Amino acid sequence: MNDLLDAILFAMGVTLPSVLLLGFGVVLRRLGQVDSAFVATASRLVFNYALPCLLFTQLMGSTIRYGEEARMLAAGLTTALGLFLASELYAWRFVPDVRDRGVFVQGVFRSNMAIMGLAFVQNAYGDAGLPSGAVYVGVVTLLYNVLSVITLSRAQARSGRHRLLDIGRNILTNPLIVSILLAMLLQRLHLGLPGPVMQAAHYMGNIALPIALVCAGASFDVRSVLDLSGISLQASIGRLVVAPLAAVAVGLAFGLRGIPMGVLFLMCAMPVASASYVMARSMGGNHVAAANIVGITTFGAMFSAALGITVLRSTGLM
């Protein structure tokens, strides 16, 4: 019982600040101190500059050893692709509105690894887990962004060859993908940027999460959350229940134990990334549903992640 309570308190300590920022956005919108124009402008700022700077500085500040984590990376990529394909199939069958499909799919497969995932890993394993966590974030975040562009492009694209061209252009020009590739290239070449430039990038990256969460809170729609048949609740169940279970199953199939299994589970048990809301809004998806998924999963992960941590620790898997 004490282990479960400790796990819940730990999960709440990591996720509660995000819940409070979401609530702050809701309050600001109800008081009329932010409006849709502010949310749209701030979301563009986060998507084009703040989030890319956050990902870039995190990767540049990490010691990345990709070869040493091959099995864990293979399991992570397999889990992400499996969740993506399964949610695409579900959306094709059960989500009629084209603007909802990409938002649903992204809500299921994309987790908040760079912020909450790394925080959970550090608290679970200390400095011993951070190298594995950094490797996982660097590789899988790149895949996340490519898959997100593909699934969200259906709201913009036309058909046939034009749709493929739209997807290709969105991938090549996506600021998040560009920043990750640039950081990986500089890491590979053992190059860095001048100190003042990196510090400015840190400053810009620091505003990414709070602004994204405030904007998501300002777009939150309580009535649609209460609709049990809505995509917000369906995607949240996929993120909080299906995704962690799939991660553990894939991890066992790849023979993972200890820190690699713990990293895989913790990264997949996180709420949906706040970037999912920003990308949905910038690419024409249903950003209200995306905001709702962020809110539901951020709150729900406090309990679902705590339960998973307790079970895996008691069985010696992580």
- Residue 27 has what pLDDT? 92
pLDDT band at 128 (very low <50, low <70, confident <90, very high): confident
- Residue 4 has what pLDDT? 67
Tell me: pLDDT of 166 over 80: no
- Residue 163 has what pLDDT? 61
pLDDT band at 222 (very low <50, low <70, confident <90, very high): low
- Residue 254 has what pLDDT? 95
The average pLDDT across 206-216 equals 83
* Prediction pTM value: 0.79
DSSP string, the chain: -HHHHHHHHHHHHHHHHHHHHHHHHHHHHHTTSS-HHHHHHHHHHIIIIIHHHHHHHHHHTS---TGGGHHHHHHHHHHHHHHHHHHHHHHHHH---HHHHHHHHHHHH-B-IIIIIHHHHHHHHGGGTHHHHHHHHHHHHHHHHHHHHHHHGGGT--SHHHHHHHHHHHHHH-HHHHHHHHHHHHHHTT----HHHHHHHHHHHHTHHHHHHHHHHHT--HHHHT-TTSHHHHHHHIIIIIHHHHHHHHHHHTT--HHHHHHHHHHHSSPBPHHHHHHHHHTTS-HHHHHHHHHHHHHHHHHHHHHHHHHHHHTT--
In this predicted structure, which of 33-47, 87-101, 154-168, 232-246 has the lowest mean pLDDT? 154-168
Highest mean pLDDT among 67-81, 124-138, 149-163: 67-81
Instruction: For residue 160, give both structure tokens.
Output: 């046939």
Q: How does pLDDT run across 76-107, given as a tens digit for each residue?
A: 999 999 999 999 999 999 988 888 898 999 99
Q: Are 224 and 289 in contact (CB under 8 A)?
A: yes
Q: How does pLDDT run across 14-66, given as a tens digit for each residue?
A: 677 877 888 898 899 889 999 888 888 887 888 789 878 887 887 787 666 66
Domains detected in the chain: 2-314 (1.20.1530.20)
- How far apart are the C-alpha atoms of 261 and 108, rounded to whole Å? 20
- Residue 106 has what pLDDT? 92
Tell me: pLDDT of 2 over 90: no
Interaxial angle between packed helices 258-268 and 130-152, expressed in degrees from 0 to 180 and rounded to the nearest 10: 30
Average pLDDT along the chain: 83
The average pLDDT across 244-252 equals 97
- Contacts (Cβ under 8 Å, ≥6 apart) of 290: 103, 106, 107, 216, 219, 276, 277, 280, 281
- Residue 104 has what pLDDT? 94
